[in-house]
Amino acid sequence: MMADVILSVRDLTVEFQTPDGPKRAVDNISFDVHEHEVFGVVGESGSGKSVTMLAVMGLLPQGQARIAGGEVKFRGKSLLDLDTEGLRAIRGKHLSMIFQDPMTSLNPVIKIGSQIAEAIGLHQKGLSRSAIRDRAVELLGSVGVPNPGRRFDQYPHEFSGGMRQRAMIAMAIANDPSILIADEPTTALDVTIQAQVMEVLASVRERTGAAMILITHDLGLVAETADRVAVMYGGRVAELAGVDEIFAEPRHPYTVGLLASLPRLDASSSEQLYSIPGQPPGLRGRPSGCVFNPRCGLKRGRERCETEVPALREVAPAHAAACHFSEEVGDWVREVAAAKREAAL
Amino acid sequence: MTDMLRVTDLHKHFRLGGGFGRRAEILRAVNGVSFSIAKGETLGLVGESGCGKSTLGRAILGLQKPTSGSVELDGKDLLAMTKAERQRQRPRMQVVFQDPYASLDPRMSVHDIVAEPLRINGVYREARVKEMLDCVGLRPEMADQKPAQFSGGQRQRIAIARALALGPELIILDEPVSALDVSIQAQVINLLMRLQKEMGLTYLFVAHDLSVVRHISHRVAVMYLGKIVEMGTRDQVFGAPAHPYTQSLLSAVPVPDPKGRETRGRIVLKGDLPNPANPPSGCAFRTRCFKAQARCAEEVPELVDRTAPGHASACHFAGIHTKVC
């Protein structure tokens, strides 16, 4: 049984001002996040994954970007209609965000403890200073910062990268949010530290029951943590399905290419990696029709790919893909694999 | 003698602080490293940030003067040479850096970037530049453009063309694909492997991404706090890791396959990298190690073949309780 929808995004479009006029960084995207789940958003740089989340949080850079259409609802309540005050009451309390680089998202001249205390004090008015301090120390301890009482009075530069990210997590969970949005939370960290931080996130979620949106370019991280996954490309959702379906039976040629181009630790290494030809499109040169069409191996010269934007449609139960020829993907993958085997012989 | 590069007991130390009567701390970024790479081979050098892998690459190139030790290129000791002799050896080894945004001069055209090493050595021919661009898959008309007009993957191709211009035998690749997106990363890896095959190049491939290293390397060395802790063929190091650090490093890499994720064993290391200026006594890894015993604090484990011939590890308890994935 599917849990209730907690966050619903419909036809969201975000435009950036460029010298050539407004350009769509996010183009008509829709998805739902359910209670308690981990929703993975994967994509390469420029795919629009971070911009989508900034739009959801009302954190788009003012004057440069605007929401040109669509709806974002948190528990049925529209977030886009809220004024700054209304948004502030929700942000940091019900929805909170963990950013990629804890060095730039923590204030270097304010003690770690005070930064966490600020997050608590903003949403829990009436708590005494000592109660806030106790809560902040407890939070630091709960994310595995050793000696939380002493660490409370230290500055960010006295924390290592992994410890800073723990402090960010402590701040994000200070008010028991229902959704944690983690934007590349471990990209700046080494793998052994990444493993520690992901473990902290898992234990925090187990304790609080929060849902998490995990934005990453790391398919491995998604495979290990997510329940459902959206694959983004060129500002659109290319494919959306449960994590097992996405990895076992991708139904969009981009997802297929992405998976095939990964060097793997757990597979015998072949001589050559599959590589998707060409480059991901920038904001300006977005192709018409399907954004992926100039790099697609399944296009086979068909005109429809260049003229008609494929809708994100259900191609199997609870499995959506935005490809006109999604039904051919399975056969195409087998064909390519067979050709590769033949070439190897 | 088929070793292209032989590094013996190489040290690179940095002095931190000191002066005004205070004692300087010594940071041993590279602390006694020895290895060799055969002609046409790729040695992958992995480790986390701060382990000294980039400093090692720079010390080999002579970009930073090693404190002690020897670096032999094709049997000739580079550190024992006069400066002029060393200059003559330079074209034989080249480097590709991580960040193609920082390593290319934004004011130079692609043609001039690739031509620069040729001009410095007085062997410039326009045809050679064209040949190099063609070799890395860039179109001839791109030669007049500036780096700003290229994406990350294309810039890295330019950097590779520049490194190839003088016909080197050894290329030190310092994180050459870590700034690139997955789909572009695969293009550059394939290019590097093709060039190696066609030109018989020798690579020292420095990276933190274990899957990439596994894909491209013949042999692999794992570094921790300035020392190599394990070295062997790719299949030895990835298939039967003997050092607990390698074991935990491998188990920490997320596998892009959700099947069986609940049952996958993972060794999560305690704590952070210790201060490299003040490393733990004995085995430097013991403070985070799940196998550490009293002996580890007292005795420095030597890097010697312990679990198989040609498979060296620096751990008193190498290979015991090996269980990864």
Q: How confident is the model at residue A241 (pLDDT cuts 50, 70, 90)?
A: very high
**Residue A132 domain-assigned (yes or no):** yes
pLDDT, chain B, mean:
91
**DSSP E strands, chain A:** 5-18, 21-34, 38-42, 65-74, 77-78, 95-98, 179-183, 211-216, 228-233, 236-242, 313-316, 319-321
Query: Which of A41, A134, A53 lies closest to A91 in space, CA to CA?
Result: A53
Inter-chain residue contact B184 with A279, CB threshold 8 Å: yes
pLDDT at A282: 81
Q: How confident is the model at residue A271 (pLDDT cuts 50, 70, 90)?
A: low
Inter-chain residue contact B153 with A279, CB threshold 8 Å: yes
Query: Which of B246, B238, B325 lies closest to B285 in space, CA to CA?
Result: B246
pLDDT at B202: 97
Q: How confident is the model at residue A267 (pLDDT cuts 50, 70, 90)?
A: low
Cβ neighbours of residue A62 closer than 8 Å, sequence gap 6 or more: none
Q: Is A195 on the interface with B (CB under 8 A)?
A: yes
pLDDT at A27 over 70: yes
**Residue A264 domain-assigned (yes or no):** yes
Q: How confident is the model at residue A270 (pLDDT cuts 50, 70, 90)?
A: low
Tell me: the pLDDT tens digits for A162-180? 889 999 999 999 999 999 9
Residues of B in contact with A279 (CB under 8 A): 151, 153-154, 184
Percentage with pLDDT > 70 across chain B: 98
**Residue A240 domain-assigned (yes or no):** no
Cβ neighbours of residue A41 closer than 8 Å, sequence gap 6 or more: A49, A52, A53, A213, A214, A215, A216, A229, A230, A232
Mean pLDDT of A80-105: 88
Tell me: the pLDDT tens digits for B105-161? 999 999 999 999 999 999 999 999 999 999 898 888 899 999 988 888 899 999 999
Gap between the Cα atoms of B11 and A265, Å rounded: 31
pLDDT at B2: 80
**Residue A154 domain-assigned (yes or no):** yes
Gap between the Cα atoms of A59 and A56, Å rounded: 8
- Distance from CA of residue B274 to its chain's centroid? 21
- Within 10 Å of residue A272's Cβ, how many Cβ atoms? 15
pLDDT at A116: 94
If you compute the radius of gyration of chain A from its CA atoms, what whole number of angstroms results? Answer: 22
Tokens of A169: 């997590």
Tell me: the pLDDT tens digits for B10-59? 999 998 877 777 778 889 999 999 999 999 999 999 998 889 999 999 99
* β-bridge partners, B25: B16
Gap between the Cα atoms of A42 and A219, Å rounded: 7
Answer whether B135's CB lies under 8 Å from B162's CB. Answer: no
From first CA to last CA, the distance across chain B in angstroms is 39
Inter-chain residue contact B258 with A196, CB threshold 8 Å: no
B146 exposed, middle or buried (CB, 10 Å; 0-12, 13-18, 19+)? middle
**Residue A72 domain-assigned (yes or no):** no
> Which of A146, A176, A206 represents a domain boundary (last residue)?
A176
pLDDT at B98: 87
Q: Tell me the CA distances in angstroms from A237 to A9, A180, A257, A286, A312, one per residue in order.
A: 12, 21, 15, 15, 7
A328 exposed, middle or buried (CB, 10 Å; 0-12, 13-18, 19+)? middle
pLDDT at B95: 95
pLDDT at B323 over 50: no
> Which of A154, A176, A198 represents a domain boundary (last residue)?
A176
Mean pLDDT of A292-315: 95
Gap between the Cα atoms of A177 and B149, Å rounded: 43
**Residue A181 domain-assigned (yes or no):** no
* Binding-site residues on chain B for chain A (CB distance < 8 A): 48-49, 151, 153-154, 181-187, 189-190, 193, 208, 210-212, 214-216, 238, 248-259, 261, 264, 266, 268-269, 272-273, 325
Tokens of B31: 């602390």
Query: A179-183 and A95-98: which strand pairing?
Result: parallel
pLDDT, chain A, mean:
91
What residue numbers bound the domain in which A168 lies? 106-176
Task: Report the 3 state secondary structure along chain B.
Answer: CCEEEEEEEEEEEEEECCECCECCEEEEEEEEEEEEEECCCEEEEECCCCCCHHHHHHHHHCCCCCCEEEEEECCEECCCCCHHHHHHHHHHEEEECCCCCCCCCCCCCHHHHHHHHHHHCCCCCHHHHHHHHHHCCCCHHHHHCCHHHCCHHHHHHHHHHHHHCCCCCEEEEECCCCCCCHHHHHHHHHHHHHHHHHHCCEEEEEECCHHHHHHHCCEEEEEECCEEEEEEEHHHHHHCCCCHHHHHHHHHCCCCCCCCCCCCCCCCCCCCCCCCCCCCCCCCCHHHCCCCCHHHHHCCCCCEEEEECCEEECCCCCCCCCCCC
Question: ipTM of this predicted complex?
Answer: 0.83
Gap between the Cα atoms of B208 and B220, Å rounded: 12
From first CA to last CA, the distance across chain A in angstroms is 47
Mean pLDDT of A2-7: 85
More confident residue, B187 or B18: B187
Percentage with pLDDT > 70 across chain A: 97
Percentage with pLDDT > 90 across chain A: 68
pLDDT at B1 over 60: no
Q: How confident is the model at residue B324 (pLDDT cuts 50, 70, 90)?
A: very low
Phi, psi of A214, rounded to the nearest 5 degrees:
-105, 110
Residues of B in contact with A244 (CB under 8 A): 258-259
Residues of A in contact with B268 (CB under 8 A): 192, 195-196, 199
**Residue A321 domain-assigned (yes or no):** yes
Q: How many domains does chain A have?
A: 2
* β-bridge partners, A71: A10
Number of residues assigned to chain A: 345
Residues of A in contact with B190 (CB under 8 A): 272-273, 275
Tell me: the pLDDT tens digits for A126-158? 899 999 999 999 999 989 888 899 999 999 999
Q: Is A283 on the interface with B (CB under 8 A)?
A: no
CA pseudo-torsion sign B129, B90, B136, B112: negative
Tokens of B163: 């490194």
Largest CA distance in chain B: 65
> Which of A148, A176, A204 represents a domain boundary (last residue)?
A176
Residues of A in contact with B325 (CB under 8 A): 266
**Residue A288 domain-assigned (yes or no):** yes
**Which of A193, A224, A257 is opposite residue B254, by nearest beta carbon?**
A224
- Within 10 Å of residue A184's Cβ, how many Cβ atoms? 18
